[in-house]
Structure 1
Amino acid sequence: MATKGRLFAGCTVALATPFRDGQVDYDALKRLVEWQIARGTAVLSPCGTTGESPTLSHEEHEKVIAVVVETTAGRAKVLAGTGSNATSEAISLTKFAQRVGADGTLQVTPYYNRPTQEGMYAHFARIAEVCDLPMMLYNIPSRCGRNLEPETVARLAELPQVVAIKEASGSLDQVSELVRSTNLTVVSGDDSLTLPMLAVGGEGVVSVVANLAPQRVQAMIDAFQQGQLAEARAIHQELFTLSRNLLGLSVNPVPVKAALEELGLCSSEVRLPLTGLTPPQRDQLRKALAEARIQA
């Protein structure tokens, strides 16, 4: 069956949020957006995990979304992270994203309070009931403590606002079941699994490594879709090595922000409880960037 939510197929960049002296650096945020657009990025996703949304105040969260929408000025789609483990907060953020012109919202599975499948269905359905923006569900059990089961996703897929899912369970069986049982656009939430997911019916990725190499990520997807499997595998191996050597140094987004600093795009500053790379890790990062030929 034809999938819905095709505007979120391909490479979506899970955008980092720059900080300086404890505050959001909005000038640097605009630079990141312009850098991505100059490289052909079609979709930007602010205020996700890579954007350190758990440590953004409500006011900062809204302003980051607004600045990204304003800066893109229609040159790229904006998939705003507006999820929360409080349904009322997710609704408030989603309504704001809709008012300022975002193209869709990324809605993470409620974390910490560990709702049942029925509770998760009711959570997402309530957001869809009061907000018209297209919604991408985000399943990441390792961070949220609950797996959004395919049967629940199939129920949610009947809602017109639910158009896609970012799947980060690590299970290709689950991806296959989502592709089989729903008409959602299924995208990877793990850079290392993008190509395997494409092979079983996925249509893209919400990518961390694309903060540094957006053209390569999109090129891999394009090569696969054009039947150029050897080319797709070669790019996958490059990106896999980069992800392991660089992003594996610490928890996301610590390494990617350090890499962005090496490229002169923003500070590597993160907010507690995250901490920056150690000097030896920074040396490893520089080596990984050089080997991957990443440059501004």
Structure 2
Amino acid sequence: MKTFPDLTQQLYNLILNPATRVWERQQLVKAKSSLNKRSATEVWSQLEYQLRPLAVRNNLTPDVADFYALLKHDEPAGKKFDLTIHQATDPAWQERAIFAGGCFWCLVEPFETRPGIKAVIAGYTGGVTTKPTYEQVSSQKTGHVEAVEIIYDKRLVNYQNLLELYWQLIDPTDATGQINDRGNNYRPVIFVRNQRQQQVAEASKLALINSQKFSKPIVVPIETATKFWPAENYHQQFYRKHPQRYHLIAQARQNYLRVLKFSGKIKQLFNKK
């Protein structure tokens, strides 16, 4: 469990955080004012009680949700994700791939658990706003999509391997979202970082089109990668922090994709006949 001084500093940071909603900030300011009048235990308990209705509905802003997890003594949920590898320069044997395909929660675990993957970071890209927040991206006014940056060891896995897995995780016939995630911020996109990735991605997409596995056209665009902004800590490795909720979301997505693939097989069968 975090010590009270750690919680106090985080409280101050959240009050100053522009992403904190007005009502959330009001509760945090009240708690801050009470720290000099009541015991810390009472203050944290009262704040947890005030935030609970939104927390149980998963409606707190990401950083406040992390803070709430610590108030509940759920350290795994509030654990800080190390972004050092994202910020560092890649050695010669390391490369990055950026894919968008609906909610980024469901793209992290399938890639991160594969051999050769050093890190998978949830984030935002493709838009114009600097340091976008989850709420800004969700408003669909910044041009960003939810995406993942995959940092991998080229000696153990290659870009083609990643593309093959990517196609299995999305509905490539849906240009305006993915499954239950609707809107431009959930559109599928392959973001390429160099000419070689461009060539491999185009060949991979053409191979999928020629396979005729889907009854509708393949509509995933291939775009030049722009600045990738890591998402809030709450969204990093969501499958580990919130396994039950992740399982329900991932299972629904997998069921949809199974039906989609079955429809494609039926089409292939009729085409052969």
TM-score band, normalised by shorter chain: under 0.3
| Normalised TM-score (structure 2) | 0.26
| Higher Rg of the two aligned structures | 2
